Amino acid sequence: MGWSCLVTGAGGFLGQRIVRLLMKERELEEIRALDKFFRPELKEEFSKLPSKIKVVLLEGDILDELCLKRACQDVSAVIHTASIIDIMNTTRRETIMDVNLKGTQLLLEACVQASVPVFIHTSTLEVAGPNSYTEIIQDGHEDLQLENTWFAPYPYSKMLAEKAVLAANGQTLKQGGTLSTCALRPMYIYGEGSPFLATLIREALDNNGVLTSNGRYSVANPVYVGNVAWAHILALRALRDAKKAPSVRGQFYYISDDTPHQSYDSFNCTLCQEWGFCPDYRLHLPLSLTYWIAFLLEAVSFLLSPVYKYAPPFNRHLVTLANSTFTFSYKKAQRDLGYEPLFSWEEAKRSTIQWMRSLVRQHPETLKTKTQ
């Protein structure tokens, strides 16, 4: 029988990759792509995708209950990627909590009311930590009892949202049957369209080729966006399969791939090698000193908050996140979902660098040099 799938955050970095992969799913008749806004070029691309599958673009707010009710009507599955990602605390806490937590809760309720049987939630590594840069987790796994202790709005909201999703597993649907849920926790996601890499390139070009250094002391295993999207497709298949579903329901999975384990700075240097971009460590401070400077900046921000909104250039959470040894295995996803990376490290690197090359060519300084 034909079926349909709703993807929230479908205009985002990960969401649009999921939509493209969904186009190849057997017997899928309709994809509903929900986001607050779709760029004109993405609208055009989705309208020209060579497939018999109907793609319906829905522009709406994740906090709009009527919008969610309509989006979920007669849908077979939901992939929920929509969220606000903010590690610098530049967005109001209430806004992040509303979108990431309340939006997820409203979507779960809409699924129950519309009797949508499958719900896949895009979570994050940050629901597990790291909580201290002295903490060392290498090749971590789901059986470790790890939980974020930061009160920063992004990891805190995502942690509560994931708990809500997993707690909803088994909930009775309005028209009978039960809701099946799972959550995926990707590592730091890179690839074409990455907003973090786009910012990194712009800042390096504006700073004479010097990369911003945030993660010299880390050991991380970034994951390619195409492989994260693929994991969502496999989770969707598993929850729709009567034989596989029992072992997947109510579970969470770390999603990584075969990208080499290295520091974030080394990873960025690898991607930027073509242009010679690398951090300048001549004035680099010890990690412990950087951490306590971050604490002082946060204190200043707090003291000024009644009269002035000061956003520190970095905070303790960012220092910890970017400088910890925190890597995870994908063995559980491999066992339960049949997950294997769809793209090799060499393929992922090549595609990412090709996209970054286009950003360098479009930058005003590059264009200025070409015309001189």
Known catalytic residues are 158
Q: How far apart are CA 10 and CA 38, in angstroms?
A: 8
Asked whether 6 and 72 are in contact (CB, 8 A), the reply is yes
Q: Give the 3-state DSSP-derived string for 111-161, with helices as H, strands as E and coil as C.
A: HHHHCCCEEEEECCHHHCCCCCCCCEEEEECCCCCCCCCCCCHHHHHHHHH
Q: How far apart are CA 64 and CA 16, in angstroms?
A: 21
Asked whether 68 and 110 are in contact (CB, 8 A), the reply is yes
At residue 201, what are phi and psi to the nearest 5 degrees?
A: -65, -45
Which positions ≥6 away from 347 have C-beta within 8 Å?
none
Q: How far apart are CA 157 and CA 148, in angstroms?
A: 11
What stretches of the chain adopt beta strand conformation (E)?
3-8, 28-35, 54-59, 77-80, 118-122, 136-140, 180-186, 189-190, 223-224, 251-255, 325-328
Q: How far apart are CA 212 and CA 209, in angstroms?
A: 10
- Residue 338, number of CB atoms within 10 A of its CB: 11
Q: How far apart are CA 162 and CA 184, in angstroms?
A: 9
